Amino acid sequence: MDIEVRSAAEQDRLRLATVFAAVAEERDGIATEPPVDVELRAATWRVEGGLVAVVEGEIVGSIHVDVSPHGFGEIGMAVLREWRGRGVGSALLAAAIEWARQRGLHKLSLSVFSHNAAAIALYRKFGFVEEGRRVKQYRRASGELWDTIEMGLLL
Ligand SMILES: CC(C)(COP(=O)(O)OP(=O)(O)OC[C@H]1O[C@@H](n2cnc3c(N)ncnc32)[C@H](O)[C@@H]1OP(=O)(O)O)[C@@H](O)C(=O)NCCC(=O)NCCS
């Protein structure tokens, strides 16, 4: 399977928001839950700092590095469910690490729900280490309170 990773562009907004909304529907890996206002998400999407994975001519996942003025970048990422387990997440994360190094960031960090074994395994594979746990940090629509694990990678 050919995976192309490139910078996000203005014309990707709607597709990026659509992918995001599909992942939000799972109510599992990312903080946002449905309903997602796709038009609004598209309009407000932060294209700068974004990378997209393209397979068979269509965006199937993306990663965003939110650059802090203090030298680190915060990562968020998602891959469409039907494309998982085939290296898309790895390709995106490798590209984001390279992108951050090129910009002289000293660290990448992220928060991940403590039950998210696939994401935690991916981050560990690239050298991220666990730095702490936020207990019952996120209240879900169901009323459940979910912990997050904070992870970081020194570049
Ligand atoms: C986390 C996510 C981005 C991974 O994307 P992916 O395309 O499946 O990742 P890859 O195929 O490159 O797999 C990367 C590694 O993750 C691990 N992994 C993947 N799926 C796994 C699973 N179901 N269970 C355990 N580990 C898993 C493996 O270590 C794998 O490396 P390997 O193939 O060399 O063994 C994807 O599952 C996703 O989008 N989930 C929903 C949104 C989300 O949770 N985002 C992260 C929020 S912090």
Answer yes or no: is the C-beta of 112 below 6 A from any ligand 1 atom.
Answer: yes
Protein residue whose Cα sits closest to atom 24 of ligand 1 = 118
| pLDDT given at position 64 | 98
Give the CA-trace dihedral at 86, 2, 128, 77, to 10 degrees: -80
Per-residue pLDDT of 42-90, as tens digits, reads: 999 999 999 999 999 999 999 999 999 999 999 999 999 999 999 999 9
Per-residue pLDDT of 101-147, as tens digits, reads: 999 999 999 999 999 999 999 999 999 999 999 999 999 999 999 99
Nearest residue to 78 (alpha-carbon basis) of 51, 48, 105 = 51
Per-residue pLDDT of 21-46, as tens digits, reads: 999 999 999 999 999 999 999 999 99
- Which atom of ligand 1 is the closest one to the Cα of 86? 11
pTM of the model: 0.97
Probe ligand 1: pick from 64, 90, 110, 120, max atoms within 8 Å of CB?
Answer: 90
Protein residue whose Cα sits closest to atom 4 of ligand 1 = 89
